[in-house]
Amino acid sequence: MKMKTCGTVLAALLFNPFALAQTPAADRAADPEVVKLSTIEVVGQVDKSAYNVAVATVGSRFPEPVLDSPRSVQIVTAQMIADRAILDPQEALQNVAGTTRSGSYIGAGETFLLRGFQQTDLIKDGFRAGTAANVGLTATGPTDMANIDRIEFLKGPAGILYGRGEPGGVVNYITKSATFENTAEVQQSVGSDSFYRSQIGGNWNLLPDRVALRLDAAYENADSFINEMHGERTFVALATKWQVDPATTLTVRGEYSHDDRSTNPGLPYLDGAVLPGVPRDQYLGEPGFTEFTHKTSRGIAQLEHRWSENAVTTVSVHGRHSTEVGNYFLLYNFAGPLQDPVTKDIARAVSINDHLDENFTARIDQTLAANLSDSGRFRIRNQLLLSGEFERQTQNHHRILGSQVSINPYDPVYVGYAPLPLLPFPDFPLKLNEYSDVAANVYSVAAIDRLSIGDKIFLSAGGRMEWFRSNYSLNYPDPGTPFTNSVGKQRLSDFSPTAGVVVKPLQTLSLYFSYAESKNVFLNAFASPTATGAPLDPESSRQYELGAKKEWLDSRLTATAAVFEIEKNDVVGADPNNPLYSINSGSQRSRGIELEASGEILPGWRLTAQMSHTSAKITSAPNNLNVGNRRTGVPTNAGGLFTVYEFRSGALKGLGLGGGVFAASRVAVDDANSGTLPSYVQFDATTYYSLGAWKFQINLKNAFDRTYYYATSNSTMVQPAAGRTLLASVRYQF
């Protein structure tokens, strides 16, 4: 589908109430659901097989109708995950406007851009659960989907809820919780490139309506579309729920992941193109050496007590322990050109890593609600969230950086680990030996107030005060290195406000405006040493957003249109006087328009469609370096459509047929705009058949085997996307 056609469809869905025929509610296979917001009850029909969700927590931490939120919130539901057979959560980005997948130096782990800015943190169940794999320095490893119920996207700065972070938004993975029912399922999947995955899930009502237990587990073993690459993962998650009494609930969740995986340096972009004549499946690493092992243990305990219908207290404790051990290559030459002009060999550098990342969070949330006035249509209700939080994060990293013998990309010969000096100087060591340690304590208090005037006007405002304390050290024990040892402390405090207003001319139409700010401090303290050893100022951001949301077909279909502007200041960049160090250097801006719609337009016919136009640019920098250039990896235009029709009666009952198309315009390969990666159009197809407790499904991804690439922060290491991929699965529920 052409982008113009997609935009026409979305505009019709949002602004033309007669674009689709209304369907009587009696014809829907829907379950009634009541969601309590303290004294506010939101009553609606929620179809468990649809692509839209009426209520989410990602925008305010308490359940809030999506239509009443002054922010752009999108949700990739369990049904959408199942229909697309999403096993890599990055695939879900194609179903959300303004989000883009990017690449990492290791070729694995979540790396994504929201509204033009690289995401740095992974959020799970509302807590910081790891770091995105932007440059390989993450101990978390890829997220397994076995226990993921849905993925919530909050667009724009989220400092009010999650503290430090990038301004593009937050991706919040919501895991499956234990329920008071007895269910179980097993699923076996096989696919292209020797893909094999076994998955089980079960829920047990151990003590009727008192104690429930849930188990989700998976084992995955696969090669890759890249030659010589392989991956293996074991994942186990447990969740429990104890209804202590009618007003008190204790939930506990835990998970463990062990992931062994080859790392992929990608392919170089040279002379205006990804290396000509080199297929996308060529491997420029070293089999058996350039591999990573990730181990992650994570747990969360939450105690909720409802004092009354107007007061709820939730105490949460969250902890994570992650390790990363292994090696990856950089396609980089510290001493000369990347490619030898005669032999055409590509230079390589090697990074040997031992990385530990730990996180502990304790939080208390107090929700209070009150009716300030009960005078008919001017009834005023108030809902207040007060939150206090302590977070400690530590990272310990040992890296050995050196050079590796070069490789011919047209006829690679693998030699294993063959180290060379980092620089060809007689007094320079064979390698750069680096030890880094950082420990940060963050104390914060937050308040969010939500005022509703009748059912037509919703006002919200709040702020988060954060006190950041860190100690860090960088140590280079070997003589002759270009870096110097540094030890320092960082003591900062900042305030992140937010405000918004929603006006509903109709019960199914809302118009909204919001303002939000955020800061990013931890990354500066850890990854960006300065020549003087002084800490950098935190990157600061703010967003203005204006939008409209509309529901049709008795709330089965929801559409959103939004325009936004994000400004980011004190951006961390290379010191022009010493590129080995960093400074606060300039600002960046992202402006855009987003349209998206999702839901069930007819009984059994599910659809999600989205498109975005984003202008993300560098607006100021020292010596005007790259000013006016596009931000790396951000497509100006992107969009997609995915739809499934499921027969619910007759001889074909249980049969589902569907597919989709996803497209994006070309992207800048680096901030210098030295070239562009090509645009792409990807076609997917799916079919399944449900027969009693059995479900058989086949998914074809990138059906026409299109070649395209993901940008990283290094133009010599772009990552190829997978070609045509076939995935078949069978599931049995009992």
Does pLDDT of 45 surpass 70?
no
Q: Does pLDDT of 3 surpass 90?
A: no
Per-residue pLDDT at 435 exceeds 50:
yes
Least confident of 109-118, 234-243, 429-438, 495-504: 429-438
Please report the pLDDT score of residue 34 as a whole number.
39
Residue 563 and residue 545 in contact, taking contact as beta carbons nearer than 8 Å:
yes
pLDDT bracket for residue 27 (50, 70, 90) = very low
Model confidence at 173, pLDDT cuts 50, 70, 90, reads very high
pLDDT of residue 334: 82
- pLDDT of 521 > 60? The answer is yes
Q: What is the pLDDT of residue 708?
A: 93
pTM over 0.85: yes
pLDDT for the residue numbered 247: 97
With pLDDT > 70 as the criterion, what percentage of the chain qualifies?
89
Which pairs from 15-21 meet CB under 8 Å and 24+ separation? 15/550, 17/550, 17/552, 19/552, 20/552, 20/553, 20/557, 20/601, 20/602, 21/602
Answer whether residue 483 shows pLDDT above 80: no
In Å, what is the CA distance from 210 to each residue of 178, 202, 245, 517, 553? Answer: 11, 17, 8, 42, 37
Taking residue 475's Cβ as centre, other Cβ atoms within 10 Å add up to 15
Q: When comparing pLDDT for 14 and 99, which is higher?
A: 99
The whole-number pLDDT of residue 423 equals 77
CA neighbor of 472 nearest in space, from 459, 495, 489: 489
39 pLDDT band (50/70/90 cuts)?
very low
Measure the CA–CA gap between 89 and 104, rounded to whole angstroms.
15
Is pLDDT at 720 greater than 90 in this prediction? yes
- pLDDT over threshold 60, residue 571: yes
Instruction: Kindly tell me if the per-residue pLDDT of 363 is higher than 80.
Output: yes
**What band does 425 get if pLDDT is binned at 50, 70 and 90?**
low
pLDDT band at 431 (very low <50, low <70, confident <90, very high): confident
Q: Residue 102: name the closest of 135, 147, 73 by CA.
A: 135
Reply yes or no on whether the pLDDT at 428 is more than 90: no
The pLDDT assigned to 31 comes to 39
Tens-place pLDDT, residues 65-119: 889 999 999 999 999 999 999 999 999 999 999 999 998 888 888 888 999 998 8
Of 450, 363, 435, residue with least CA distance to 399: 435
Contact 370, 29 (CB under 8 A): no
pLDDT digits (tens, 9 = 90+) for 202-254: 999 999 999 999 999 999 999 999 999 999 999 999 999 999 999 999 999 99
Confidence of residue 335 (pLDDT cuts 50, 70, 90): confident
Q: Residue range 454-476: average pLDDT? A: 91
Evaluate whether 42 touches 53 at the Cβ level (below 8 Å). Answer: no
Residue 157 and residue 168: Cα distance in Å, rounded? 6
Per-residue pLDDT, 673: 94
| Confidence class for position 8, pLDDT limits 50, 70, 90 | very low
Q: What's the pLDDT at 236?
A: 98
* Model confidence band, residue 350 (pLDDT cutoffs 50, 70, 90): very high
What does the pLDDT average to over 441-468?
A: 94
Closest by CA to 69, choosing from 518, 560, 512, 551, is 512
Angstrom CA distances, 142 to 7, 124, 689, stand at 33, 13, 30
At residue 43, the pLDDT reads 35
Query: Which whole number is the average pLDDT over 649-653?
Result: 94
Q: What is the pLDDT of residue 580?
A: 62
Residue 20 in this model has a pLDDT that exceeds 50: no
DSSP secondary structure, 199-267, as one string: EEEEEEEEETTTEEEEEEEEEEEEE-SSTT-EEEEEEEEEEEEEEEETTEEEEEEEEEEEEEEE----B
- In angstroms, the first-to-last Cα distance of the chain is 40
Count of alpha carbons within 13 Å of 110, Cβ hemisphere only? 31
Model confidence at 17: pLDDT above 90: no
Element (H, E) at 275: none
Tell me, rounded to whole angstroms, the distance of Cα 687 from its chain centroid. 27
Greater model confidence, 520 or 208: 208
The answer to whether 537 and 584 have CB atoms below 8 angstroms apart is yes
pLDDT value at 312 more than 70? yes
Average pLDDT over residues 441-456: 94
Predicted confidence at residue 141, as pLDDT, reads: 84
Cβ contacts of 127 within 8 Å, gap of 6 or more: 300, 316, 318, 361, 363
Residue 5 has pLDDT above 50, yes or no: no
Q: What is the pLDDT of residue 533?
A: 67
Residues contacting residue 40 through CB under 8 Å, at least 6 positions apart: 369, 381, 383, 452
Decide if 79 contacts 48 (C-beta within 8 A). Answer: yes
* β 121-124/169-175 pair status: parallel
- Check whether 436 has a pLDDT greater than 80: yes
Q: What is the mean pLDDT of residues 675-696?
A: 96
Q: Tell the residue number behind the tokens 């210098």, with chain if given.
A: 672
Q: List pLDDT tens digits, range 705-719.
A: 999 999 998 899 999
* 70 close to 512: Cβ distance less than 8 angstroms: yes
CA distance 728 to 717: 32
Tokens of 659: 């597919």
pLDDT at 421: 81
How far is CA 524 from each of CA 11, 77, 401, 475, 564, rounded to the nearest angstrom? 41, 34, 21, 17, 26
Number of CB atoms found within 10 A of residue 672's CB: 13
pLDDT category of residue 426 using cuts at 50, 70 and 90: low
pLDDT category of residue 55 using cuts at 50, 70 and 90? confident
Ranges of beta strands (E only) in 346-455 are 346-373, 380-407, 419-420, 431-453
Structure tokens at 446: 């937050």
